[in-house]
C-alpha cells in the first residue's frame, strides 16, 4: 500500500535511492518522436535503474501499489509507445553495459540502454556487423529496438531486430528477472517466449539485456540509385529485382512527391521527369558485391531514365536519413504512417496515399523500404494547424482501410503504441488470444497500459 499523502516520487526515492528517481515533470521523458503530432504525456515519477535487479524492484513496487509503469528507451518511437499516461516511467538510460563480447563467435550481450549506433560501431571495429539499422540510431536503445522489432533499410536482406536476438533478460510482473534464450542459436524447447517479447512494445515485460548474434561485415558495399519516369515502371522494377533472384542488401524508394521535396539535396543528379527513385545496395565480398551491382543495373536499365552508381555511401545514406526532415520542412510538419503491404501491392498503396491526400485537401507523399512493401505514407500538415491535423487523421483512417484491403498491416515498423492501438483488426479468436497473452504476463494490466491492445 502507498502511504497516504506521500508522492510516488518521494516513496520511490526513499525505496530506490534519490539518485535513481526524477520528478514526473522531467520533460524529456514525457514524449517521443510523435511530439510533432502533438502527442505528450504526464507521469508521477521517472526511475533510472542501474541494474536488472533495481528495475525489478521498481516494477515490484509499482505492482504492489497498482501504479502503471512505462518502459522507455531512447524515446525515438513513432507511435507514442513510450509516452506515459500517468504512473512511473522506467528509463533504460543507465543500463549501458556490454556484458560480454566474443567477436570470434559472432555474439554480444548488451544491456537494454546501449544505443543502436554505439552497438553497430563497437562490433564494426571488430570486423562484424549488427545489421538492423533503424533511422534514429544515435538515440534509440537496443531495448527499444527489441520492443518494437525495429527494421530499417537493410531489413530487406537481413531481417528486423528480432532475427538477431538469441536471448533476452527481462523483468516480468510482479517483479521477477527472467532469462529466455541466451547464446544458443537454436532452441525449440518450450514456447518461444523471447519471440513474444520481441515487438511487444513494453506491454509484456521490461527488457533489461539482450544476447545478439552478429555476422562478419561485408567486404564491399556498393549503392545504386535508379530514377523512373512513372510510379508504375518504378514499382515494376522493384518486382523485377525480387523476381530475378538478385538479393540486394537494401531496396528503398521515394515517390514523386518525396523526390520533389528531398531531391534538391540528393548527392548526385536527379534527371528531368523522374517520378520514382529506387535506392538499392549490393554487398558481399568484392566480387559478389560487384556482380550483384551489375545484375541490379541490368534490371533497372530496362525501364529507368537514369541509373547512377559510384556514390559516396555515407553521403547517400545521410541524404536518405534526411528525407523525413526534408518532407516535414516543406510545410512545417507532417503526419506519417508506416504501412506494410505485400510487395506486389506497393504501387496501389503509393498511388492510394496521393489520392487519399487529395480527397482531404492534403499533399500525400511516400518513401520507404520497397522490397519489404513498407511505406512511410505521409501527409504534409503544418505543425499547430488543427484543421490540417484533423484532415490528416481522417485521411489516415482511409489509408488504414486501404492497407487492410490490400492484404497489409497498419504497422510494419513503428508498432501500434498509443496512436494506432484501435486500428489493428483481428478475428475474435485471435483478439482473445492477444488479450490472454497480455493477461498471462501482466494480470493487473499495469505494464504500459493503453498501448498496443
Ligand atoms: C528519424 C527516425 C527514423 C526512424 N527509422 C526507423 C526505421 O528505419 N525502422 C524502424 O523500425 N523504426 C524507425 N524509427 C522508429 C524508432 O526509432 C524505432 O522504433 C526504435 O527502435 C525505438 O527505440 P527507442 O529506444 O527510441 O524506443 P522508445 O521510443 O523509447 O520506445 C518504443 C517502445 O518500446 C518500449 N520500450 C522501450 N524500451 C523498452 C525496454 N527496455 N523494454 C520493454 N519495452 C521497451 C516503449 O514502452 C515503447 O512502447 C525511426 C524513428 C525516428 C525518429
Among 136, 133, 110, smallest CA distance to 120 is for 133
Closest residue by Cα to atom 17, ligand 1, is 76
Between the CA of 144 and the centroid of ligand 1 the distance, in Å, is 5
- Read off the C-alpha cell for 409: 498491416
Q: What angle do CA 206, 166, 435 make, to 5 degrees?
A: 45
Q: Give residue-wise pLDDT tens across range 54-75.
A: 999 999 999 999 999 999 999 9
**Ligand 1: nearest atom to the Cα of 201:** 49
* CA dihedral of 373, 376, 379, 384, whole degrees rounded to 10: 160
- Global pTM value: 0.96
pLDDT at position 1 is: 55
- Read off the C-alpha cell for 99: 556484458
Q: Which domains does the chain have, with CATH numbers?
A: 1-217 (3.30.465.10), 220-318 (3.30.70.2190), 324-405 (3.30.70.2740)
31, 33, 73: residue to mutate for ligand 1 pocket, most atoms within 8 A of CB = 73
For the chain, residues with pLDDT lower than 70 are 1-6
pLDDT at position 4 is: 54
pLDDT at position 384 is: 82
With 0-12 CB in 10 A as exposed, 13-18 as middle and 19+ as buried, what is 48?
A: buried
Q: Give residue-wise pLDDT tens across range 376-429.
A: 999 999 988 899 999 999 999 999 999 999 999 999 999 999 999 989 999 999
The C-alpha atoms of residue 73 and residue 75 are separated, in whole angstroms, by 6
Tracing cell 564494426 back to the chain, one arrives at: 124
Enumerate residues 6+ apart whose C-beta is below 8 A from 359: 395, 398
Tracing cell 548488451 back to the chain, one arrives at: 110
pLDDT at position 453 is: 86
- Beta bridge mates, 179: 169
The C-alpha atoms of residue 370 and residue 230 are separated, in whole angstroms, by 15
Closest residue by Cα to atom 21, ligand 1, is 145
Between the CA of 201 and the centroid of ligand 1 the distance, in Å, is 9
Amino acid at each position: 500500500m502507498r502511504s497516504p499523502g506521500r508522492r510516488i516520487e518521494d516513496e520511490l526515492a526513499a525505496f530506490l535511492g534519490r539518485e535513481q528517481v526524477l520528478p514526473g515533470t522531467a520533460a524529456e521523458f514525457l514524449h517521443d518522436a510523435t511530439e510533432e503530432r502533438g502527442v505528450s504525456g504526464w507521469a508521477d515519477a521517472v526511475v533510472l535503474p542501474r541494474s536488472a535487479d533495481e528495475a525489478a524492484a521498481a516494477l515490484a513496487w509499482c505492482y504492489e501499489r497498482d501504479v502503471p509503469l512505462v518502459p522507455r528507451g531512447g524515446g525515438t518511437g513513432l507511435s507514442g509507445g513510450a509516452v506515459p499516461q500517468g504512473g512511473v516511467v522506467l528509463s533504460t538510460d543507465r543500463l549501458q553495459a556490454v556484458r560480454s563480447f566474443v567477436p570470434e563467435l559472432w555474439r554480444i550481450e548488451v544491456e537494454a540502454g546501449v544505443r543502436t549506433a554505439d552497438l553497430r560501431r563497437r562490433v564494426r571495429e571488430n570486423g562484424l556487423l549488427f545489421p538492423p539499422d533503424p533511422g534514429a540510431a544515435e538515440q534509440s536503445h537496443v531495448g527499444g529496438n527489441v520492443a518494437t522489432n525495429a527494421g530499417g533499410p537493410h531489413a530487406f536482406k537481413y531481417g528486423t531486430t528480432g532475427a538477431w536476438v538469441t536471448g533476452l533478460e527481462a523483468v516480468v510482473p510482479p517483479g521477477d528477472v527472467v532469462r529466455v534464450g541466451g547464446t544458443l542459436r537454436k532452441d525449440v524447447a518450450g514456447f518461444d517466449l523471447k519471440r513474444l517479447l520481441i515487438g511487444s512494445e513494453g506491454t509484456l515485460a521490461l527488457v533489461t539485456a539482450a544476447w545478439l548474434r552478429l555476422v562478419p561485415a561485408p567486404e564491399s558495399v556498393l549503392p545504386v540509385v535508379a530514377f523512373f519516369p512513372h510510379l508504375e515502371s518504378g514499382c515494376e522494377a522493384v518486382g523485377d529485382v525480387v523476381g530475378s533472384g538478385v538479393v540486394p542488401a537494401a531496396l528503398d524508394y521515394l515517390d514523386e512527391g518525396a523526390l520533389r521535396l528531398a531531391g534538391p539535396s540528393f548527392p548526385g543528379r536527379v534527371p528531368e521527369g523522374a517520378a520514382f527513385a529506387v535506392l538499392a545496395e549490393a554487398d558481399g565480398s568484392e566480387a559478389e558485391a560487384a556482380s550483384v551491382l551489375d545484375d541490379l543495373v541490368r534490371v533497372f536499365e530496362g525501364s529507368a531514365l537514369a541509373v547512377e552508381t559510384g556514390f559516396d555511401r555515407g553521403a547517400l545514406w545521410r541524404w536518405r536519413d534526411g528525407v523525413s526532415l526534408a518532407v516535414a520542412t516543406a510545410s512545417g510538419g507532417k503526419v506519417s504512417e508506416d504501412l506494410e503491404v505485400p510487395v506486389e501491392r506497393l504501387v496501389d498503396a503509393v498511388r492510394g496515399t496521393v489520392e487519399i491526400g487529395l480527397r482531404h485537401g492534403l499533399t500525400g507523399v511516400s518513401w520507404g523500404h520497397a522490397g519489404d512493401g513498407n511505406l512511410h505514407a505521409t501527409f504534409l500538415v503544418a505543425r499547430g494547424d488543427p484543421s490540417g491535423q484533423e484532415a490528416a487523421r481522417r485521411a489516415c483512417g482511409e489509408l488504414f482501410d486501404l492497407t487492410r484491403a490490400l492484404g497489409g498491416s497498419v504497422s510494419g515498423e513503428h508498432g501500434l503504441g498509443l496512436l494506432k492501438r484501435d486500428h489493428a483488426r483481428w478475428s475474435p479468436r485471435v483478439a482473445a488470444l492477444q488479450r490472454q497473452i497480455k493477461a498471462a504476463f501482466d494480470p493487473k494490466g499495469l505494464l504500459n497500459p493503453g498501448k498496443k491492445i
